[in-house]
Structure 1
Amino acid sequence: MQLFGCGENSSGYLGEPRSCMRRSVNEPHICQHNNEGENSPYCPLWVLKPREITNPSQSVRVLSCENGSTFLDVDGHLKHLGLNPLKEHQLTEMTKVWSPSSITGAVPLADGFAFLSRDGSLLTVRDSNGMHTIQGKPIQHIATRRVDLHNPNLISGAVAIVLKQDPQTVLSFDSWQPMCSFLKTPAPNYHPIHTATFSSPIVKLTSKFAALTEEGEVFIWGEKLPQQPPTPSDEDEEFEDAWFEFSFTNKPIKKWPSRAPELLDYNPRKQPLPPIQELSTGGCNNTAVSRSGQLFVWGYRSNTWPDIEDANAVNSTELKEATIPSGSGEARLQIKNAAAGQKHVVALAVDGSLWSVGDGIYGQLGIGLKQFGLCTEDGVIDMLENETDEEFAVDWQRMDTEALEGRECESVFAEGAHTLIITR
């Protein structure tokens, strides 16, 4: 197996050399890499087409690819791709406790990550208190909602777990500590805030709180309720001073304003889909591939900025199939695998071709430099409303696979402004 990728690389997510950050298509890009704009209006280091991330001789397994991070098992070594990756010594210490081959997934915490092992235990790696193992009731699947910097005392946002002893039931908690108490104590003080039992075992659980069952059903929950607990003010002198030191010297904040967990709708809603074999949830869109090779895309439509034409509205009572033309009459391609990033979607067809749609300013569409002229009438770009959407594909684009020549695509992953491709 070999890993290829394209997209934003100013942080080195896709390896060296790092590129400049691309912020807008409205002005020529000037940087040291293009001789201050003399050689071209672009940075030659932008990863606009798939390129090698690992060597052909290496064995690669994707452990997790969502929430701004990707964890890989590369030849038995744990590798972290992300904007703020774990330090090398943290990865080394962690693999002394757990072999990467025993890790089945990873979820983000406010100041670190939690890893799930095959035996159902958790290992947390956090900036504030180092490494800890959490054992008790064995876990089959775990997901955490988006965690931001402002609730570190909660350690995570809401948490959903599926226990090995009951693979048909999802247990939801509003934060991390109640979940830990439930796992570790025979008679816990805390209980799930919601329990949902499905008709067949759960085979996948995502950070967007979406579950795929063995029967191919898809359920989604976790929308924020209109009424939320009051937010404490950050405007006190002590906290402002601490925030200043954190921002400029990375000094940890010892005391944060006390915040209550967000109130969510924990009641799962079944999606109107045929039996599904592959599920991916991203920032704006979600994808599902049916057992017969149909592709479905649904998510949040802006109605102001360009939208993916094949994307259904998130609360649609009927989801229409996405259509990637096969090039022969009205026939459409059968899809093997698909993935959703922050604002883009990628798909691998059964015939081995790769397709992408959505935002592509950072190269995540893998189609090179291509502008679509979508922003306003007469090609005039509205800087305030559509700063980046000149690079937005509303319909499917065939990806550039020159670097993959001679290799067979096995699966695709997407996260943030990145696309990853596993080949053999």
Structure 2
Amino acid sequence: MHDIKWIRENPEAFDAGLARRAVSAMSADILTLDKERRAAEAQAQQVQTERNALAKQIGIFKGRGEDASALIDRVSQSKKQQGALEERAKDLGERLNAVLAAIPNLAMDDVPDGANESANVEIRRWGDPRTFDFTPREHFDLGEALGMMDFETAAKMSGARFVLLSGGLARLERALGAFMLDHNTQKWDYREVNPPALVRANALYGTGQLPKFAEDLFHTEDDFYLIPTAEVPLTNILADSIVGEDTLPRRYTAMTWCFRSEAGSAGKDTRGMIRQHQFTKVEMVSVVTPEQSENEHERMTACAEDILKQLRLPFRTVVLCTGDMGFSARKTFDIEVWLPGQGAYREISSCSNTGDFQARRMNARYRPQETKKPQFAHTLNGSGLAVGRTLIAVIENYQQADGSIEVPDALRPYMGGIEVIATDAG
């Protein structure tokens, strides 16, 4: 959500920021609604003031034994007039909030301009892609050959974009999730949380998935939504709260199932586990002061990168351009892992700084130690990591000529000492 006061004071800068996000200028329409709303509120207050004065006159008239019926009629009319004005102000306020709620966050100044992912800028790489003495296969070919990755049986139960993992690969996915949680909590000071996977609409509104992206969500008949990411419940921990500045930063991590309808992804990654309706992800969320915000963004990204380094998986980190960023983000770093079966880098983590955009929507504030006046916090979120995509990366990067999968050293303590996943293992 955008600060209407800032828009009033900086309409040209606001429109320029919208243009960078490929959104037409809106300040004039927004400020017209805002002006009408404030005028209705002021008129309602003026009517209230006048009625208070009339009430005093009524008391004086009655005290002198004079007829106050005309004044009483005016008070009655005044109440109706005030009610109508307050209703108009409320309606205008709701219309204004609906407009503001549909506008994406403005990009930071150092975010590259561009229409799509082709304008993203690589900022670093780590690790050299492995050289194979055989033709590397994609994860679904390897998993199906092992008899541990079954799309056909999953489709009978649930339809397309689901998978049934078993044996060694099911255990490897579990090991990855446990490894990531231990990494985030023990090395990077995140607090582990086990949040609800069903939330109400207000939680999704707070993080920006609603109202704009309703078609991407699974919605139950009794008005729950399945979470598309643990970012939703983790960020909403501080919704409608005021916390002390000395309690920030707050860092949360959780491993949850995530559910996405992939409504806008028809025809994309239809084979394999890259794009599923249900997937496991370890999420990171930070709530910080504005002064901590940019450093926390770098720290969060480093945390996600560190997981890939420990797994010895080559990756590159890119900063997303204005046309490729998510709705709530003001700056995003994507981490892309090397998949030898595809011969390409694919996204495995997205770490975003949303500034105070989400905090305004969910009324998450902190109390500065000096001024004591509550201010909106800054929120950040990142994948640390997408477990299913990390499983894909491990399968493809650690595949062997006979189709078996070597277990990375970092995961062996979580695998009961298993070093290789083969058809007779698991």
Same fold per TM (> 0.5)?
A: no
Higher Rg of the two aligned structures: 2
Q: Which has the higher contact order (CA 8 A, sep 6+)?
A: 2
Of Structure 1 and Structure 2, the greater helix share is in 2
User: Shorter-chain TM-score: which interval?
Assistant: under 0.3
TM-score, scaled to structure 1: 0.22
TM-score, scaled to structure 2: 0.21
Of Structure 1 and Structure 2, the greater strand share is in 1
